[in-house]
Amino acid sequence: MLIPDFPFSYDEYLAHPDGLGSIPREQHGTEVAVVGAGMSGLVAAYELMKLGLKPVVYESAQLGGRLRGACQPGTGHPVADLGGMRFPRSARALFHYIDMLGLDTKPFPNPLTPASDSTVIEIAGRRHYAESSADLPQMFHDVAAAWQDCLEERSHFGAMQQAIADRDYRTIKKLWNELVPRLDDMSFSHYLATSKAFSSLPFEYREAFGLVGFGTGGWDTNFPDSMLEILRVVYVGAEDDHQRILGGAQRLPQLLWQHVPEDLAHWPSGTSLASLHGGSPRGAVRRIRRAEGPGDLIEITDRWGRTSTYPAVIATCQSWLLSARIDTDESLFSHHLWTAIERTHYMQSSKTFVVVDRPFWKDVDPETGQHVLSTTLTDRLTRGTYLLDDGPDKPALICLSYTWNDDALKWLPLDVEERVRLMLHSLKQIYPNVDIASHIIGDPVTISWEDDPDFMGAFSDNLPGHYRYQERLYSHFMQEGFAPSHRGIFLAGDDVSWTGGWAEGAVTTGLNAVWGVMTQLGGKTTAANPGPGDRFDELKPIRLG
């Protein structure tokens, strides 16, 4: 995911034998606060520990944040990934940690992929069954061709993908820097509607594109987004080759917390984040402010009133929480940065899962010769239904409905029973002969991320005109020119990255913050392995007027 705004190769930085840098010996053991134990906070804490610093992690809910899973303990039931569940192979920095921890992955059963036995696309009451995209009517092939044409027509698609594959950052920057001012104000739907390819086709083609999209489906909920946001996703293949983590995505942050690195400075061998914290992170942060007295320290107070001071803080919780849930000293950030924080746009998202006795959807209906139930994309309430199994005779999972934005808001006031009943009703219209309910075991689980006070939204997503805000948030780890009052607190997390909604952005911004803390404490990288800040001037996102 070599993001064109800042095409720094984090995977190469992570893999280099010189490591991420070093800290002067006299700073070893210095405490650095990390707010949030999601993927970003844990990557940052893990790498700070390896540098010989002492991360102090605060977490208001569970380790793992939006990689949270749900399962019924003791039942052997599969784990439902309530947040991130499918990870593109191009997320190389994320896969650095997945591979390091020895986690097994397997292809995610996305619609129309080999991992999904079959797919049903139901639109405007018409049902199309396909075991591969070749089975779909011509209209869907025309839609796919129109999408490719409109990417090429206005966004140098082929040239950009080639430049990314070649890691040719000069070409990437040249192509992208021309597009940013041209497309920042343009919505995804406007881009499609005014393209030569789609404007010559009836409206139904755009509707079908909105349902099926590219890769995972459901892209019409992103029609209001800035087109730049969509291009980032397709350029870097974020919608392709998705893997799921066996045993649940939350295993990744949990194992990182316990992992004992071999090559760490200062700490005795056997040290892990868990051992540094006596097993658990500290509780929720309630207040962040500049400490009185010398040294420009930052003071953090947790939910129990315990106050500690730090020379540096990495804040990885969703940025809105810094004003809405944490009493954060306004003077820690410039007004420009606060504006960017408040203007961040979060998508809503809801998921509802049921455990079933077995993957019965693989049964074939003797009358039709089709699987009795398929991965389903529909314009009904449920929108996306995904089928997940771990073998023929084991309990399996159905994600009855995965929705975003308005489709997610429809579920918000309903409790889990009402949600499941309505979802089963919707699916009954598509599969009149299948009794899904008769296979359900255990309790259903549901989530609406916007309803959870530790998140307030699922993930950030730029609207037209938001480039400037994202540029401020992303570049915040470069603090050299900042007023002293604005230094020492570093923002990280996927909402600060150029790829909100992708765990890769959580990892890479965590690494940016580590670079920022390291240099602030007098440390540095080696010449052979420059870090994101060392190459910032060369690669930095352009600034719009």
Interface with ligand FAD by CB under 6 A: which residues? 35-41, 58-61, 65-67, 83-87, 284-285, 316-318, 321, 325-326, 349, 449, 454-455, 458-459, 493-494, 501-503, 505-506
Nearer to ligand FAD, 151 or 513 (CB): 513
Nearer to ligand FAD, 216 or 519 (CB): 216
CB 201 within 8 A of CB 195: no
CB 312 within 8 A of CB 492: no
CA distances (Å), 167 to each of 229, 240, 283, 341, 458, in order? 20, 18, 41, 31, 31
**Smallest distance from the beta carbon of 46 to ligand FAD, in angstroms?**
12
**Smallest distance from the beta carbon of 39 to ligand FAD, in angstroms?**
4
**Smallest distance from the beta carbon of 127 to ligand FAD, in angstroms?**
26
Closest CA to 533 of 494, 477, 473, 469: 477
**Smallest distance from the beta carbon of 449 to ligand FAD, in angstroms?**
5
**Smallest distance from the beta carbon of 344 to ligand FAD, in angstroms?**
13
Residues 236 and 232: their CA atoms lie apart, in Å, by: 6
Nearer to ligand FAD, 86 or 92 (CB): 86
Task: Compute the C-alpha angle 458/332/294, nearest 5°.
Answer: 140
**Smallest distance from the beta carbon of 404 to ligand FAD, in angstroms?**
8
**Smallest distance from the beta carbon of 458 to ligand FAD, in angstroms?**
4
Residues 285 and 41: their CA atoms lie apart, in Å, by: 14
**Smallest distance from the beta carbon of 373 to ligand FAD, in angstroms?**
22
**Smallest distance from the beta carbon of 316 to ligand FAD, in angstroms?**
5
If you ran DSSP here, which 8-state letter would residue 286 be given? E
Q: Which amino acid is at 508?
A: T
Nearer to ligand FAD, 341 or 434 (CB): 341
Q: Residue 316 — left, alpha, or beta (φ > 0 → left; ψ -120 to 50 → alpha)?
A: alpha
Nearer to ligand FAD, 95 or 536 (CB): 95
Nearer to ligand FAD, 36 or 217 (CB): 36
Q: Which two tokens stand for residue 465?
A: 């005109």
Nearer to ligand FAD, 42 or 434 (CB): 42
Nearer to ligand FAD, 58 or 140 (CB): 58
Q: Is 232 exposed, middle or buried (0-12, 13-18, 19+ CB in 10 A)?
A: buried
Nearer to ligand FAD, 61 or 478 (CB): 61
Can you spell out the DSSP letters for 385-447? Answer: EEEE-SSTTS-EEEEEEEEEHHHHHTTTTS-HHHHHHHHHHHHHHH-TT--GGGGEEEEEEEE
Taking the CA atoms of 411, 413, 415 and 418 in sequence, report the sign of the dihedral they define: negative
If you ran DSSP here, which 8-state letter would residue 377 be given? E
Q: Which two tokens stand for residue 268?
A: 């005795």
